[in-house]
């Protein structure tokens, strides 16, 4: 039994190209597939190799301006850095809480910060999610409706029950609308929790056994 809800998630919809930095790695924009993605997955931010000369990368300037001597950025610095890059476009800039969960998604060494390669991975993912959001935000109001959010989650490649979808939408909607910042926060959590589940679902059966402490670690760290 292949685990439903995993494969090609977080990427732009079919036939669309992501904005922002060019992405390396697997093909993007293809139709979602059931089961686990191969070779690291089809979501934005899957890089075949780290950049060889980051000094020539346009993102390097944004990053180094904000990063401290340790060469990493925390949530407050990430918020400023993303605002400077203009990734939000005409939408409201990302909240500090959304920046925290962005870092948690990619903070594999649990330092609470992101290095340059992790920052680029995040930026690529954000570009894909922004494209998905804009497909439904036709009036550029910065919001989408619940039924559009449902379609967008499905377009990312997730296959979850109507009950779960309803719970997700209620969690991230305000006055019956989902704003871009909340949309991204939802996408980040879906990706992070799905990856955490996948690592434990070694038989790809769609079911795992959690110890209480492990469950808390997986859910509270995001």
Task: Break the chain down into helix, strand, coil percent, rounded to 5.
Answer: 50, 5, 50
- Partnered with residue 114 across adjacent β-strands are 73
Give 37-78 pLDDT, tens digit per residue.
333 333 333 333 444 446 678 788 888 888 878 889 999 999
Query: What share of the chain in percent tops pLDDT 70?
Result: 75
Burial class (CB in 10 A: 0-12, 13-18, 19+), 80: middle
Which one of 81-85, 109-113, 136-140, 185-189 scores highest in mean pLDDT? Answer: 185-189
- Partnered with residue 178 across adjacent β-strands are 144
Give 107-154 pLDDT, tens digit per residue.
888 889 999 999 999 999 999 999 999 999 988 888 999 999 999 999
The span from the CA of 166 to the CA of 80, in Å, is 33
What the chain holds in terms of domains, given with CATH numbers, is 58-221 (1.10.238.10)
- Do residues 18 and 121 make contact, with C-beta atoms less than 8 angstroms apart? no
Give 156-168 pLDDT, tens digit per residue.
889 889 999 999 9
Residue 197 above 60 pLDDT?
yes
Q: How confident is the model at residue 204 (pLDDT cuts 50, 70, 90)?
A: confident
Mean pLDDT of the chain: 78
Q: How many CB atoms lie within 10 A of CB 108?
A: 9
What is the reported pLDDT for 54? 63
């Amino acid at each position: 039994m292949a685990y439903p809800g995993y494969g090609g998630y977080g990427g732009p919809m079919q036939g669309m190209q992501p904005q922002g930095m060019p992405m390396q790695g697997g093909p993007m924009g293809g139709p979602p597939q059931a089961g686990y993605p191969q070779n690291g997955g089809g979501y934005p931010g899957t890089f075949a190799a780290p950049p060889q000369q980051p000094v020539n990368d346009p993102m390097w300037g944004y990053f180094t301006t904000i990063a401290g001597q340790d060469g990493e950025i925390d949530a407050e610095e990430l918020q400023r850095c993303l605002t400077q890059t203009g990734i939000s476009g005409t939408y409201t800039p990302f909240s500090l809480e959304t920046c925290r969960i962005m870092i948690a998604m990619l903070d594999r060494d649990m330092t609470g910060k992101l290095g340059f390669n992790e920052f680029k991975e995040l930026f690529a993912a954000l570009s894909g999610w922004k494209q998905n959001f804009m497909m439904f935000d036709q009036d550029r109001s910065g919001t989408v409706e619940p039924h559009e959010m449902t379609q967008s989650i499905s377009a990312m490649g997730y296959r979850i029950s109507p009950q779960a979808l309803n719970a997700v939408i209620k969690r991230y909607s305000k006055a019956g609308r989902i704003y871009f910042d909340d949309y991204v926060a939802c996408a980040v959590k879906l990706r992070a929790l799905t990856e955490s589940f996948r690592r434990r679902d070694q038989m790809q059966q769609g079911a795992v056994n959690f110890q209480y402490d492990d469950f808390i670690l997986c859910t509270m760290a995001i």
